[in-house]
Structure formats: structure tokens, C-alpha cells
């Protein structure tokens, strides 16, 4: 699978995976190996929404309200709920419009930016509560693993996922409301690294295993402004990155399709071929 990182050209996910899993043939491609477990495994990169879901301190949390849950007069069981949530909490999408007036909203993001080969840059050995991923981190990754390919879903692993759902450990504070924001401490991406990515690579999207692509102490959210200004979507609070290889996996990240939305709940998964 090592050569896969150099050949991504926007070919649909299943075609790439099947090419990797078996020899080329003029016969119709059998996609079943992607889904029946014979061609690889699927990894869920998503936290469930619940009372434990971590949100930005000023955001409304997830709420699930029971409408019905039990036997009906007609004799059958029936269950239904309503839910409410801020767009930005748990494993979620940041649409470019979150920080860019002319950026794509949640419903406008093309699938080509939500599906692609995964590249996992692991900085867990260096990450601290205020660590900023640098250009040097990205260049060191490429020196060892090759250039980040066009169309890649770039995932930044800091190890912060190991702290979920401990709010104090994950955010740096248990406080909520505006007064909590100055107390936030978690890693993020240096604005210089965001600029380097935008100017030198053509990634589809970027995800991180922390609450924000900017570090907790950011006040200007420069990394948001830079990447989303380039119409690159972001995925925050991504789970289970440690289960992915550095290269060779493929990501499918499908958010709730909210018309005009600046983000929304995200179900993100990865396929790791055999």
C-alpha cells in the first residue's frame, strides 16, 4: 500500500481500494470486499453523542428528549426522540463558511473533499497542552513517508483522544461559559503550518483529535481563518486515529447536510485495506 500515497488522482474510493486489494482486470470490479470484511477493516473515527459529549464552553450541549418509548395501545413497541445540538461539538465538521464569508457551507462541500486517502501525521511524542504543530513537523513527516498527496485527508494526531471524555483533561478546564475560554489548553496547528499546507499541498480536508484546529490559547483563530479561507473543510474531535496506519487507509467523512450550515455532526470512518 505504500505506493498508494503517490497515485491519488480523485478516483472514487472503492476503485482505489479494490485496485489495492486485487490484481487489475478487465472484468467488472467487485466492490463487495470493501464491505464484507475480506478486503480490509473499517475504523470508526467518531465519538457518539451523549451527555458526555464535549463542546466548546460557550456552545449549547447535546440534548436528547424522549417523545415515546414503550408499548403502544396497538400492541407494538415504539420509540422516538428529539435532539438538539450546537453545530460545533463532538466529532463534527467545520465548513469553510465557519470562518470564511465566501467559503462553502455544510451542504455545498463537494464529496471530493470528504472522501480520500488518509495521511496521519503523529505528533503525540511532542504534544503538550499548548503545543503547536509546525512546518518542521510536516516536513519531517514527508522526509520519512513521502509527500502528502493531492486529495488527501490530512489527519493530525496529538494523542488528545486518549483524554476523551474527561472534560478537564481534554479542554484544560471544567468551567463553562465565556469565562472558560481563557482557561482552554490543548494542542493545535500553527498558522505558519496552515499557510504552508495551503500554499504547498492540495489536501481535500484536515482533521484533528482535539477540540479545535487552533490551540486552546488562540484568540485570533488564525489557523481557522487561513485554511477555511482556502475552502478546506475541517474535522474536529476525531476519534481513534491510533488505529490507522500512517498512510494506506481511506477516509469517508459525511456530515449532516445542513443547508447554509457552518458545520454539523460528523460520522467519519476509515477503511484500512489488508
Distance of CA 12 to the CA centre of its chain: 19
Answer whether 163's CB lies under 8 Å from 109's CB.
no
Catalytic-residue membership of 98? yes
What is the spatial distance between Cα 117 and Cα 33, in angstroms, rounded to a whole number? 18
Answer whether 265's CB lies under 8 Å from 90's CB.
yes
Point out the catalytic residue in the list 88, 92, 98, 190: 98
Q: Which residues contact 226 (CB under 8 A, 6 or more apart)?
A: 191, 194, 195, 198
Q: Which residues contact 252 (CB under 8 A, 6 or more apart)?
A: 13, 114, 115, 268, 269, 270, 271
Strands (DSSP E) along the chain, which ranges? 40-44, 63-71, 77-84, 92-94, 115-122, 132-133, 153-157, 188-189, 205-208, 234-236, 247-255, 263-273
Q: All 3 cell numbers of residue 165? A: 471524555
CA trace torsion 88, 92, 93, 99 (10° rounding)? 30
Q: All 3 cell numbers of residue 269? A: 470512518
What is the spatial distance between Cα 117 and Cα 99, in angstroms, rounded to a whole number? 25
For 265, half-sphere exposure in the C-beta direction (CA atoms, 13 angstrom radius) is: 15
Active site (catalytic) residues: 98
Amino acid at each position: 500500500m505504500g505506493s498508494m500515497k503517490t497515485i491519488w488522482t480523485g478516483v472514487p474510493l472503492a476503485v482505489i481500494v479494490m485496485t489495492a486489494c486485487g490484481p487489475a482486470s478487465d472484468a467488472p470490479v467487485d466492490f463487495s470486499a470493501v464491505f464484507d470484511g475480506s478486503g480490509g477493516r473499517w475504523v470508526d473515527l467518531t465519538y457518539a453523542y451523549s451527555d458526555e459529549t464535549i463542546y466548546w464552553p460557550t456552545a449549547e450541549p447535546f440534548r436528547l428528549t424522549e417523545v415515546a418509548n414503550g408499548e403502544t395501545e396497538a400492541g407494538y413497541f415504539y420509540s422516538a426522540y428529539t435532539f438538539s445540538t450546537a453545530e460545533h461539538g463532538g466529532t463534527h465538521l467545520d465548513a469553510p463558511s465557519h470562518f470564511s464569508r465566501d467559503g462553502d457551507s455544510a451542504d455545498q462541500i463537494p464529496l471530493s473533499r470528504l472522501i480520500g486517502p488518509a495521511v496521519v501525521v503523529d505528533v503525540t511524542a511532542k504534544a503538550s497542552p499548548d503545543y503547536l504543530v509546525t512546518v518542521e513537523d510536516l516536513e519531517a513527516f514527508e522526509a520519512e513517508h513521502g509527500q502528502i498527496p493531492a486529495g488527501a485527508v490530512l489527519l493530525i494526531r496529538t494523542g488528545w483522544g486518549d483524554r476523551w471524555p474527561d472534560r478537564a483533561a481534554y479542554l484544560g478546564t471544567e468551567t463553562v461559559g465565556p469565562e472558560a475560554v481563557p482557561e482552554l489548553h490543548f494542542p493545535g496547528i500553527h498558522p505558519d503550518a496552515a499557510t504552508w499546507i495551503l500554499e504547498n499541498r492540495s489536501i481535500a480536508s484536515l482533521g484533528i483529535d482535539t477540540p479545535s484546529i487552533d490551540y486552546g490559547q488562540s484568540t485570533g483563530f488564525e489557523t481557522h481563518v487561513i485554511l477555511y479561507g482556502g475552502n478546506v473543510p475541517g474535522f474536529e474531535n476525531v476519534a481513534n486515529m491510533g488505529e490507522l496506519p500512517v498512510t494506506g487507509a481511506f477516509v469517508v467523512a459525511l456530515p449532516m447536510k445542513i443547508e447554509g450550515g457552518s458545520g454539523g455532526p460528523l460520522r467519519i470512518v476509515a477503511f484500512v485495506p489488508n
